[in-house]
Structure 1
Amino acid sequence: MSKTSLEIQIQTLPNEPGVYQYFDANGTILYVGKAKNLKKRVSSYFTKQHDYGKTKVLVKKIASIKHIVVNTETDALLLENNLIKKHQPRYNVMLKDDKSYPWICIKNERFPRVFSTRRVIKDGSEYFGPYTSMKTVSTLLDLIRGLYKLRTCNYDLSKEKIEAEKYKVCLEYHLGNCKGPCEGFQTLEDYNEGIAAIKEILKGNFKDSLSQFRQQMAQFSENMQFEEAQIIKEKIEILENYQAKSTIVNPKISNVDVFSIVSDESYAYVNFLQVSYGSIIRSHTLEIKKKLQESDKELLELAIIELRQRFHSKSKEIYVPFKINLGEDVKVFVPQLGDKKHILDLSIRNAKYYRLEQLKQVKIVDPDRHANRVMAQMKADLRLKEEPRHIECFDNSNIQGTNPVAACVVFKNGKPSKKDYRHFNIKTVEGPDDFASMEEVVYRRYKRLLDEGSPLPQLIIIDGGKGQLSSALKSLNALNLRQKIAIIGIAKRLEELFYPDDPIPLYLDKKSETLKIIQQLRNEAHRFGIEHHRNKRSKSALNTELESIPGIGEKTIVELLKEFKSVKRISHAKLDELEDVVGVSRAQKIYNYYHNS
C-alpha cells in the first residue's frame, strides 16, 4: 500500500527541537506548536487516540506539515510565539498576553525609567530580551534597583518643569529608593552614569555589579542579618547562571534577511530566514532543479531575488555564506564570527534538513529519480566518464591461509543485484597469495562475460590497496578491457580510493552517498566471501575419514556430527549408539571401519 504525502512528511521529520506548522488542503495555517523532538511530537498527533473533540477535528484537517529546526527548546518557545502572533492560526486559541515574552525597556526620556514590558514600541527606547522567564526579569530589575537609585514615576522631567518646581518628591525618595531628580536633587549626568552601567548589566557584564552584591552579602553576614544575606546569595546564584543572550539571535539584529544554500549534482536548496527584533518570523526553503550545472553563486543570487519578491521583503541587510552581487541598495555580509555567524549557521542547518527530508521522500515516492540523482553524484565524485549503473566489487578470503576463495558482488542503479553475485574457488594459485588470486578471479570473471556476450560493468571496485589494484589491471590489460571499464581500489583502514597511474589517493566526504555506496559494496563483498569461505571450510572438515567410509554420505555424516559432536567420539561410539542415529546397516559399516582398522 502506497504511503500518503502526509505520512511521508511525518516519517522524514528530524529528531531535533523546533517548531511545526499544520496546514489544511487550501494552504491555510491551522496550528503552530513547539517540540523538543519534532518527529516524536508530530507523530503523536497521528498515533494517539484524542478524547478532546477539537484535536480530532484538527488532525482530520491537516493536509501538510512545515517545520523549522532550532538549536534549543528555548529558541523553539520564542519562535512559536513569534509565528503564532504573526499568523494567528485558528487552533491556537489559547494564546493570551502572558504568552508574549517580557523585555526590559530603558525608556527614551530625560532620567530614563527602567521597567519590564511585553510591547516593543518604536519610540527610540532601548529594549533588552526577550526573556523566557519572568523570574529572570524580576531578578535583573531587583539587582538594578538595589544598585542604582532610579525613579519609578511617569512624570515628564523636563528641565523647564523641574526648574518651575512642578513636582514634589514621593515616598520612594523617603525610603531611599530614589534620589529625587524631580526636585533637582540629582543631576542628569549622575543619573545617566547609572543608566550606562545598567546597560552593561543587561548585555551580560555583571562583573562590577556582582562584586557590589557580594560586598552587600558579606556586610549582612557580619551584621548577623542572615535572611537578607541568603536573599542576596540566591540573586547572585541566579545571575551567575543567567544567559544574557536568551533570544534566538541578538536583539540588535533586526530587519535582516538570511540566505544559505546546499546542493548536489541535480538540485539546490536555498533557505531563507527573516529576522525581526532578534527573532525569526519566517523560514522558507526553495528547491531548484539544475539544468546547466549552474554554480551555487548563480543559484543563490537567483533564489534571493525570487524569495524577496515573493515575500515582499524590503530588508537592507542580507547575510549569506559567500560573496554575491545584489546591487548597491542592499548591504551583503558574509559573517565569520558571533551572533551573525550563528544565525547563518542556523539557516544552513535548515537547508540541510530540508534536503535530507526531500531525499528521503523521493527515495520512497520516486525511486527512479533517486537512482538518477545518486548515479549523477557518483559520476561526478569519482571522476567517471559515464554513470556507474553497473558496479562490480571483488574481495579475497583466505582466513588462516586455508581454502582461498574470492567473491564478486554486483550493484545495479545503486542497489544490490544478488542474482548476479558470484563465488570463485582459487584454482591456479597455491597458498595464500592475494595479488595472484585477484589477478585470477578478475580474468576469469571478464573472460566469461566476454565469451557469453554479457554486459560489462561501468565500474570495478577492488577491495584492497595499490597491490590488489595492479593485479586486477593485469587481467584487464590481458583482455583488452583497460580503456573500457573504470577501476578503483579502496584501502580498508582510511577509506582511501586509489586510481591506476595516480599515486595520490582520493578522499571522499565521510557523509557522502558515493562513499556510503562504495562501503556497502565492499562490506557486501566481504560478507559474501566470508560466507563462502566458511561453507568451504565446513565442507572440507567433513572430507575426513568419515567420508572415506564406503556407503557413508554427507547427510549421514552431518547427522552423526550433530549427535556426537566430533569424529573422535564417533570412532569410540558403541554399535547400538550408532544404530540409534543412522540405522543398523550404516552403523555396522562405521563400527567395522574403526574397530577393524
Structure 2
Amino acid sequence: MTASAPSFDGKDFVRTLSTAPGVYRMIAADETVLYVGKAGALKNRVSSYFNATPKSARIMSMLSQVARMEVTVTRTEAEALILENELIKSLKPRYNVLLRDDKSYPYVLMTNETWPRIAMHRGPRSVPGRYFGPYPSVLAVRDTLNLIHKLFRLRNCEDSVFRNRSRPCLQHQIGRCSAPCVGLVQARDYAESVRRATLLLEGRSDELTGELTKAMEDAAERLDFEAAARLRDLVASIRTLQARQYVDGRAADLDVLAIAMHGVQACVLLLAFRDGRNLGTRAFYPKTNGSDNPEEVLAAFVSQYYGEQNPPREIILDRDIPDRDLIEQALSASSDRRVQIRHNVRGERAGYVDLARRNAEVSLAAERTSHAAQHARAQGLRELLDMPELPKRIECFDISHTMGEATVASCVVFDAEGPVRGQYRRFNISGIEPGDDYAAMHQAIYRRFRRAMEERSGLADGGNVLGVADADADAGAAEMQRTMAAAATAPAGAAPKTASATSPRKHPRASSELGVLPDVLLIDGGAGQVAQARAVLDELGVEGVLLVGVAKGPERRPGEEELLLPDGRTVHPGASSAALQLVQQVRDEAHRFAITGHRGRRQKARNVSRLEDIPGIGPRRRANLLRHFGGLGGLKAAGVEEISRVEGVNQALAERIYATLHGLESRSE
C-alpha cells in the first residue's frame, strides 16, 4: 500500500491498514527513507504516530518530512523483526538507530583444503572455509589459536610456504604443527585433528572430551599405550581448561551487554564468553539519530548485531528492552537453537554485568573526550580560515611515486567525527612525464571534481549522469576514459574502480558521494601544486571550496608547516595550533593512504613484468605459474624440474624462467 499525496494524510492512510504484523517505511519527498519500523499490528502501530498523544521533537521532525508510507505484511511478528533488520542495514534510514557495520571483526578461519590451515582472518569472507566468531579482540583470537595449535597441531602457514617446504619448520619442532607439508602426518589423522578442533571452536568441548575418552579406552584395549597416553594428555588439557573457566558451575556460552549514554551519544559494551573462555570486551558506538532512550538503542543493537552474527545460547543485558520476547524468538529461529535474553541476573553473572556497565561508561567518556578534541581542532580551523561555521567535510590530496614509477594520488575524507574511510579514493596516474608532481596533481583533482560537477549537473537536470571523458581532456585522458566508462556501467552511486574503499567506520551517507563538494580542500604541497588545483577548480566552475596548501617548513619538521590560505597569505600556525593539528592529521592520513597504494601498484608491476619479459610466457602460463607456486616468491624458490611440471611449461621454457628470475643466461638460448 502506498500513499503519495504531496501533503501526507496519516489518518487517511491508517484507515487502509490491517491489524496484521508487518513492516512500515516512512519516505520523504526526495524518496529517501526516513524510518523503518516493525509492528505486531500495523494499524495500531502506525496510527500511534498520527494521534493527539504528545511526541518528542525527533518524532515530530520526522513526521513533518513524510511524503508517503509503504508497508509490507508478514506472517508473524518475528518475520517482521527480521525484515526490519534487513531494511535498516540496506536503506540506512535517517531516523533509525544504526549499528555501524565494521568489517574488521576478527575471526578464526578454518580453510577448506586437503590440508586445512587455521589462522586469524579480518575483512570480507572471500577465502573458502569456515569462520568462527566474531571475536571481540585480536588478543582473544590469538589466545584461541595458541590453544588449537597446542592441542591439535594444525598448520597456520600460507599455501605458498606450505607447498614449497622441504623440511619441517620451527612450529613442528616446538610441537605446534604436525608437519603435513613434508608428509609427517597421515591425511586421515590430520582430518581427524581438524574435526576435533572444530568441535572445540563450536563450544562442544563436553562432546569432544567424551569422544576422546572413549578413543583413549579403545587404544588401551588394543595395547596401543602410546596413542592412549597422547589422548589422555589431550583430555587432561581440555578438562583443565574447563575447570579453570567454568562460570556458575558450568561452561558458559554467553554475551553480556551494557549501554552507557550521554545525551544522544551511546556506547554498547560487549563482554563475550565461549565455552567458558573469556574472550574480552569490545565497545560499539551506534548512531542513535537523535534517540536518547537507552532501552530503544540497546534493543536496536541486539536485533541488528545478532541478525548478522551467530548468537550465543545466552545474552545478558544490563536492562530490559522492548520486544525482548520477540527478539529472543527470532534469534532462536534463525540459529536453530534456543537463545535466552535475560536482564535480571544474580551471582557471578551480575558481576559481569557490572563490569560491562563500568567499561561502557569509561569507553563512552573516552569517546566523548576524543570528540571534544576533534571539535576543538575543527573550531580552530574555522577561525583560521574565517569560515561562518565548522567545516563539515574536508578532503586532502597527496601524490606518491618512486622516481616517477607507479604514481598514485590519494584523496582522503574527514567529517566532524574524523576519517570517513569508506569514501577514500586512489587514482592511478598515467599519461604524464614520470616524476611530474604538478601534472599528477592536476589529473587527480580533475578526475575527482569533473565527476562531482557532472553528478551535480545530472541531479539538477533530474537525469542520470554518464561520466565519459571528453576527447580533448588533458594528459590523463586515456585513464580518465577508462575510469568514467567503468562508472557509467556501475550502479548509481557506485565508486569507480580506481577508488579504494575500506570501511572500518561506515558513514550514514553513501560510500562514494562524488557529487558532494568539500568545504575545505587540502593540497599536500607548495604553491605549484596549489596552482594546479586552483586551475582545475576554475576550469570546472567549482565554487564554495576553500583551497589550502600544506607546505613543509624550512627544516621539514612537524609543527613548522606553512599553510597557503585562499586569500594568498602564508601563515605559520605553530605546533600548538589546534587548526594545524587537524591539518596534520588529515595530511598524514592522505600521505599514508597514497604510499600504501603506490607500494601495492609498484610491487604488482614488478611481479608481473618479470614474467612478461620472458619469451613464451603469456597470460595463461603466467597465471598457471603463479597459481601453482602461490606467487612470484614461490616460483623463484623452485628449481627447473619443479617449474617444468607446471601445465604448459616444457624443459626449455622452465630453464628460461629460472635464468630470468635469477639473473642467469639461459642454456636454451
Give the shorter-chain TM-score range. 0.3 to 0.5
TM-score (norm 1): 0.35
> Which structure would you say has the larger Rg?
1
RCO (CA 8 Å, sep 6+): is it higher in 1 or 2? 2
